[in-house]
A and B are shown apart, each in its own frame.
Chain A
Amino acid sequence: MPAPADSVNVAAMSVGWETSERDDGYVVELTGELDISSAASVESRLMELEKRKPARLILDLTRVSFIDSTGLSMIINADGRARKRGSRLTIVSGEGVPRRILRTVGLEDRLDVIGELPAAGS
């Protein structure tokens, strides 16, 4: 099953989107700013990906430079959908801004947040 075309629509977003497939699902690597101008398109693309019912979706935010409340909302909503589906949403926060923001809003322990991208299958 091919991954969705990565370049499509990305140009219109202030955030970069990169998908790779793993045994248990997909890794989505975002770059740039996850804010009011990009959150909606990221969310709709995530929902497209979720239609394939992956057991696990890994949202890699290591290279995200900023997350505003809309971006947070998007992450929370994705987590909510994953729980409802019985699958798993993992956030790779890195050590920068995303981690600090997730900590500030108290989501670091509420969501499946990890520091680094896990090895395949882990």
Chain B
Amino acid sequence: MPTGSDSGCRRFEGRRRHSAQKLQEEIIRQAGRGSVGTRNEVRLVAGLAALLLVTVGLDIAMGGSVVLVLIQIAVVIAVAVAIVWLAVGRRKLERERFRSQMIAEVGTVMSGALDYELALTELARLISRRLADWCFIFILEEDRSIRQLAAAHVDMERQSQAWELLYRYPLDPDRPEGPAKVIRTGRSDFQPQVTEDLLRAISANDENLELLRALKLRSSMVAPLVARGRTLGAIVFASAESGQVFTRRDLELAEEVTARAAITLDNARLYARLRGTERELRTSRDQLQAIVDGVADAVTAQDPSGKLVYANDAAAALLGFERADQLLAADLAEVMGRYDLIDPDGRHFPLENLPGRQALSGEDPDPVLIRYRNRATGTESWSLIKATAIRDESGTPVLAINVVEDVTVQHLRELRQRFLAEVGRVLGSSLDVDETFPQVAELAARQLGDWCSIELLEPDGSPRTVGTAHVDPEDSPLAQELLRRYPLTSASYLRRPLGAAELVQKVNDADLAAVARDPEHHALLRQLRPRSSMTVPLIVRGKTLGAITVLTAESGRRLTEDDLALGEELAARCALALDNARLYRERSRIARTLQESLLPPLLPELPGLDVAARFRAAGEGIEVGGDFYDLFELGDAGWAVAIGDVCGKGTRAAAVTALARYTVRAASMRHEGPSQILGLLNEALLRQQSDRRFCTVLYGQLSTNGAGPEFRFASGGHPLPLLLRASGGAEVGIPGTLLGIVSDPELTDSRVALDAGDAVVLYTDGVTDAGAPSRIWTAQELAAAVGSPYGLSAADVADRMMTAALETTSGEPRDDIAIVVVKVPDDLAAA
């Protein structure tokens, strides 16, 4: 051992202020390096050898026995050998003790610190105190860079010197020598003598080299931190001022310490990672739990057997449990058995079609909308159910996560809106409640309950069932029988002058008895087993005119206050429709009466002439039109015929129509020509300043002189008459100005002599414009459409005109149509 006792003593001296423990460490350290014990042994052996030589020399000089001398030598050698052997054994023992103690301390240091970085720093300090002057620890990071984790020297000042070096020159992983190489290769590097060449090889540049030189490295060992076959870093053991030269044995210890540290480091890292992962897991699990527990939607997880393994509070509440754990403990089949599952079309929904089951069977299910009806209470809720499968590595579903969104409120609202819209559509389709109310009853039976009937009070006070429906009459002969024979609404209810809505959530036999009209009815009702019922009055203008009754039976539904509110809304709409129908009937009656008052109720019979008239109101006939015609006797002068069209519709137009018609009648009494009559009408219309309405009128006079019938006429802006003859038809006359606009209308009399078989057709523009604008008839086309009037009656001609006009329309004619035909019999002499 080359380490001199001097240096050991100096070091010893220099550390007097160290604590007793440090002192002890120093002794152990010295022992570890084999300095103390070995030195004493050598001295002892040397002393013995010297003694032996002195004894042998003295014996020889004194001429003593050689044999004795030899024995003495042998004894001395034996003693010496024994001493040396003992000494070696003791050293070995001490080294072993030191080694064990070192490893134990490494273990303590490595497992004592909270994290491995701190532990390794502690380890470096331990090594610098016990095994080497310097200790550096390098860690291989995940990005393959090398991080200098620790540098330790017993002298703190020198330690900072090392840190400076390390910080200034991070270790290049590709450096050919030193820790980089060890980390790369995973093999120790043993340099008993640190040479200038080595320093150059591990230094980055001249400055780095200077700093390295300043460390005064003497001997070095670099051992890899290897665990589970992976190099995690390296520990550098270096001697400097102690002058220690490392041996293979030192290397072994260094490797052992390093290996021990590596395992601890690996474990620490693994543990740290595990703890991190666990923490993340726990955090995410906690977060998930918090989220899932907190969401309003019900969330459940099912294992492949269908068993619930997780449920949040909302899921528990949805299925009638207070807490999630109660639901998890319950028998799922039993729980589901409490509900009827119904699809949006009202059909039974099979459990195996639930998305969760499908997800578990490997499908990717679509969300489904399901109605749950609690069999016991009859309450219903709507849920939108989505399910996703959680799969293992092989793709096999191991869990199905169900998210059940309670959409009852939205869905009921939507259904109600849809229902009311549908009711509105039905009620709007016709004014005839006998046509619409049966459809409304069907809708109500589907929406609200299994049964619905609508009863109306007849004017004599007797009830009449106008609409009655069962949700599925084909399935229920009982329903058909009952609906055929009895109204649902009780007679006594209908007798009330102003009924209030009634809801019976749970119908009992007394209720049935009260409703039943006779014992047989009662028996039928019992068979029906009604659950809930409600009756809402149809109130029109403060008077009950009927009622709607809804009854639930086989569905088990229990009607709620919400249903009652919907029923009342339904009733309000039906009542409005009822009122509208009555108003409409009234109005069309008035319109018809008024219109009739503007037209002659019966055409007079004209001697020797055949006359016919046709009138058709456009639309539904609730508006009084502006068309009119008239045929009246002019005393000796013959007959007057007039046809006219007042601008617009409605009562104001009707007033002008009446004015025109009676003015023409009155003016005709003056025995003047047609243009004068129209002139008088024009003045009358202009005087009537309240309304800027104009009208077009064709006025004519039919007279018979010796030569035969003659038609004198004038047009006030009105389509000219058609003269139909066997030879063909055409417009006749001269156009004039419409009446009521200008004070000097152009009105010109025309005159045509009529032959046997001729027909004169007067018409309003409703005929030509019936199919406008896609088809507008010209007079020539109309004449051609009717053809020869021979063999036709006036009525035939009028009908042909009407038919021609109507065939150009796709629906209703655009305007009122009025036609007056005057026909001269084919055989004039015969007439």
Chain A residues with CB under 8 Å of chain B are: 33, 36, 65-66, 68-70, 72-73, 76-77, 80, 97, 100, 103-107, 109-110
Contacts and interface: CB of A to CB of B under 8 A. Distances in A.
Nearest to B645: A69
Contact of B717 (A36, A80, A104): A104
A110 B626 contact: no
Interface of B is mostly: loop
Contacts of A105: 696, 717-718, 737-738
B742 A103 contact: no
B737 A33 contact: no
A70 B645 CA distance: 12
A47 to B, nearest CB: 14
A80 B742 CA distance: 10
Interface of B: 626, 645-649, 692-694, 696, 715-720, 735-738, 741-742, 745-746, 765, 769, 772-773, 776, 778, 814-815
A72 B745 CA distance: 16
23 contacts: A33-B772, A33-B773, A68-B772, A68-B814, A69-B626, A69-B647, A70-B647, A72-B647, A72-B738, A76-B692, A76-B694, A76-B741, A80-B692, A100-B778, A103-B735, A104-B717, A105-B718, A105-B737, A106-B716, A107-B737, A110-B737, A110-B741, A110-B742
Contacts of A36: 648-649
Contact of A70 (B648, B720, B773): B648
Contacts of B692: 73, 76-77, 80
Task: Report the 6 A-B pairs with minimum CB-CB distance, sorted nearest first.
Answer: A106-B737, A65-B773, A105-B717, A66-B773, A69-B647, A105-B738
B647 A66 contact: no
A76 B716 CA distance: 15
Given A72-B738, A110-B742, 14 more contacts: A36-B648, A36-B649, A65-B773, A66-B772, A68-B769, A68-B772, A69-B648, A73-B693, A105-B696, A105-B718, A105-B738, A106-B745, A107-B738, A110-B737
Contact of A97 (B694, B776, B814): B776
B694 A73 contact: yes
B700 to A, nearest CB: 17
Nearest to A101: B765
A104 B647 contact: no
B405 to A, nearest CB: 41
B746 A109 contact: yes
A65 B814 CA distance: 14
A109 to B, nearest CB: 7
A106 B647 contact: no
Contacts of B776: 66, 97
Contacts of B716: 106
Nearest to B649: A36
Nearest to B719: A104
B736 to A, nearest CB: 5
Contacts of A100: 778
A28 to B, nearest CB: 19
Given A72-B694, A107-B737, A110-B742, A66 B769 contact: yes
Nearest to A106: B737
Contact of A106 (B645, B717, B769, B773): B717
Contacts of B736: 106
A106 B738 contact: yes
A80 B715 CA distance: 23
B718 to A, nearest CB: 8
A66 B777 CA distance: 12
B771 to A, nearest CB: 10
Contacts of B778: 100
B746 A106 contact: yes
A97 B773 contact: yes
Contacts of B814: 68
B773 A73 contact: no
Contacts of B718: 104-105
Contacts of A103: 735
A68 B815 CA distance: 9
Nearest to B696: A105
A30 to B, nearest CB: 13
Contacts of B720: 104
Contacts of A107: 717, 737-738
Contacts of A69: 626, 645-648, 694
A48 to B, nearest CB: 20
B737 A73 contact: no
A98 to B, nearest CB: 11
A109 B694 CA distance: 17
Nearest to A64: B773
A32 to B, nearest CB: 8
A99 B77 CA distance: 155
- Highest count of chain A CB atoms <10 Å: which of B626, B649, B735, B741: B741
A81 B715 CA distance: 26
Contacts of A109: 746
A109 B645 CA distance: 21
A70 B776 CA distance: 17
- Highest count of chain A CB atoms <10 Å: which of B645, B694, B715, B718: B694
A33 to B, nearest CB: 6
Contacts of A73: 647-648, 692-694
Contacts of A66: 769, 772-773, 776
